[in-house]
Chains A and B, each alone.
Chain A
Amino acid sequence: MKMKIPKTIDELQEGLKKKKYSATELVGHYIERIKKYDKKINSFLTVSEEYAYSKAKAVDKIISNNKNSFNEFPLLGVVVSHKDLFLTEGIRTTAGSRVLSSYVPSYSATVCKRIEKAGAIMIGKVNCDAWAHGASGENSDFGPTRNPWDTRFVPGGSSSGSAASVASGFATFSTGTDTGGSVRQPASFNNLVGLKPTYGAVSRYGVVAMASSLDCVGHLTKSVRDSKTIFDVVRGEDGKDSTVVNSKFQFPNSKLRIGIPKEYFEGGIDDEVQKIVYSAIDVFRDAGYEIAEISLPHTKYGVATYYIIQTAETSSNLSRYDGVRYGEFRDKFGDEAKRRIMLGTYVLSAGYYDAYYLRAMKVRSKIIEDFRNVFDLGSVDAIVAPVSPSPPFRLGERTSNPLKMYLSDILTVNASLAGIPSLAVPSGFSKNGLPIGFQIIGPKFSEYTLFKLGEFYQSQNNWIDKEPDLEE
């Protein structure tokens, strides 16, 4: 059966309501696509076919029993792929690393449970840079994922398979983690919407930890509206991640003021990226939003600060992998994990702690102060900026030079260090036909302001209607 893959949750559920297809037929169609096209994309590490069919049957039953079931289950019938960093009970979870190549968790992450309870159907676990270390997907121990828009290029990382699986029409949405840009950058490289929520808005329970003061659980979708629907399902306390609080969210003012940070457009930012992001800003300006130039003077120190703090925390988190309770021994760590563990150990070691780690924690305060100055004193409601300094780059282009790869994160790490939310939104294509997005950054717990701005932007164009050609 030939079936058009639904782009959004609304579209998918509309089809179920009108009986254009059953959930079982839908799952069959996704599985067929994965089998046909994923050989060249390599986005899935595990396809949970049997599980997906059994869930689909249950969904079909719910729909036939109760007409109002879609109100009760906001994600009913929606097909989701989970980044292989999220623990899924009974289904292998590898974190993209050989250390966990045979690890089958005995419990599921809070986020996966909540998504399932809301009616979604998990179709499989997707590839990522091992331990979420990377900006290209090339650090996966199970082979790189390729960008569905052009398979010679990287899909971004570390949520590489998450982005590629949604862009390829293998899932309606995907979960991801964002420690320094790992949801936003692959979203931007794949014509998708990617949310990094406020630190502490979504539980990390059951998610393989990388850098605990930075790790955030997000998701990738085609529309901002879907991003909001999923955020409403996953956010809030679960009693298992003590950083999560049921916070008071800010709701958008009628008249929003948007700041444009000049530092995000300087020094080595690709011309095409600049042009596309400036034209996105024009969309807001033309609609009457007030646009103000702002300055975040410590932006250029973000990557150095991030690669001290993050590696320090990583070295501690990865020390638990000793091959005793589960997984393989430490000799199975790949190069990037080894680099980060050693760098983190170095910056924390006697004689170097003050010069590196303590200093980085102080610069982190400066970066936070920069954002406070524009949000509180500068009365800016949100910031619009590019996500990545360049469009997607070629496979292999940055693998031999780790520092160059780290610098790919230059525009995303600062929001991570400050613990504030950011939403990546697709905004066009390069001359080579590769996606380019921008991000909307806000103060803590301003997700609904970001969604409002993002939804408005998406109402003004149809970038999400473009799809990659997988036949080529």
Chain B
Amino acid sequence: MIGITKDQVKHISRLSKLSLSKDEVNKFQKQLGEIVEYVRTLDLVKLNDTAPTSQTTELTNVYRNDLIGVDGLDQKSALSGTEDEYNGYFKIPSVFKKV
């Protein structure tokens, strides 16, 4: 049994910026544990010196000319998705607490 512990679930939820209730921790521990156990079937594959594949296009370093303003969004449309703006800026939740 490989599985995954409750503490691991809490740890990865923190890394993922997801807050979980106690019930969710229990549910995801079971479900993720089963999946993790299943994916370990890859341990059976003989790999020796097989190189990893991260993408399949066989392309490297695709460049374009660095041109400004071609087809870009203007400030108004860039801000159109938020309800919280100030002076043409995105308003974000504060990072530091006031002391």
Q: A402 and B31: CB pair below 8 A?
A: yes
Indicate which residue in B43, B53, B78 contacts A365 across the interface (CB closer than 8 Å).
B53
Q: B54 and A307: CB pair below 8 A?
A: no
Indicate which residue in A243, A307, A359, A444 contacts B35 across the interface (CB closer than 8 Å).
A307
Indicate which residue in B17, B47, B81 contacts A103 across the interface (CB closer than 8 Å).
B81
**Interface membership of chain A positions 185-212, coded 1 if the CB is closer than 8 angstroms to chain B and 0 otherwise:** 0000000000000011000000000000
The B interface is mostly helix, strand or loop, or mixed, namely loop
Task: Confirm or deny: B26 has a beta carbon within 8 angstroms of a beta carbon on chain A.
Answer: no
Q: B90 and A361: CB pair below 8 A?
A: no
Q: B47 and A359: CB pair below 8 A?
A: yes
Task: Confirm or deny: A349 has a beta carbon within 8 angstroms of a beta carbon on chain B.
Answer: yes
Q: B4 and A346: CB pair below 8 A?
A: yes
Give residues 338-362 of A contacting B (CB, 8 Å).
338-339, 341-343, 345-347, 349, 356, 358-362
- A239-B64, A366-B47 known; A339 and B32 CB under 8 Å? yes
Q: Which residues of B contact A346 (CB under 8 A)?
A: 4, 8, 12, 32, 36
Task: Confirm or deny: B87 has a beta carbon within 8 angstroms of a beta carbon on chain A.
Answer: no
> Please, how many angstroms separate the alpha-carbon atoms of A326 and B80 in the complex?
8
Give residues 12-40 of B contacting A (CB, 8 Å).
12-13, 15-20, 24, 28, 31-32, 34-36, 38-40
| Closest B residue by C-beta to A416 | B56
Q: A349 and B12: CB pair below 8 A?
A: yes
- A339-B31, A346-B8, A363-B47 known; A403 and B38 CB under 8 Å? yes
Binding site for B on A (CB under 8 A): 103-107, 199-200, 213, 239, 242-243, 245, 298, 301, 303-305, 307-308, 315, 319, 322, 324-327, 330-331, 333, 338-339, 341-343, 345-347, 349, 356, 358-366, 368, 402-403, 406, 418-419, 444
Known: A199-B56, A242-B64, A444-B56. 15 other contacts (CB 8 A): A199-B57, A242-B59, A301-B45, A303-B38, A324-B92, A339-B28, A343-B36, A345-B15, A349-B12, A358-B52, A359-B43, A363-B42, A363-B47, A365-B52, A366-B50
Binding site for A on B (CB under 8 A): 4, 8-9, 12-13, 15-20, 24, 28, 31-32, 34-36, 38-45, 47, 50-57, 59, 62, 64, 73, 77-78, 80-82, 84, 90, 92-93
The 10 closest A-B pairs by CB, nearest first: A326-B81, A419-B56, A361-B52, A106-B77, A242-B62, A304-B39, A364-B53, A362-B50, A365-B53, A213-B55
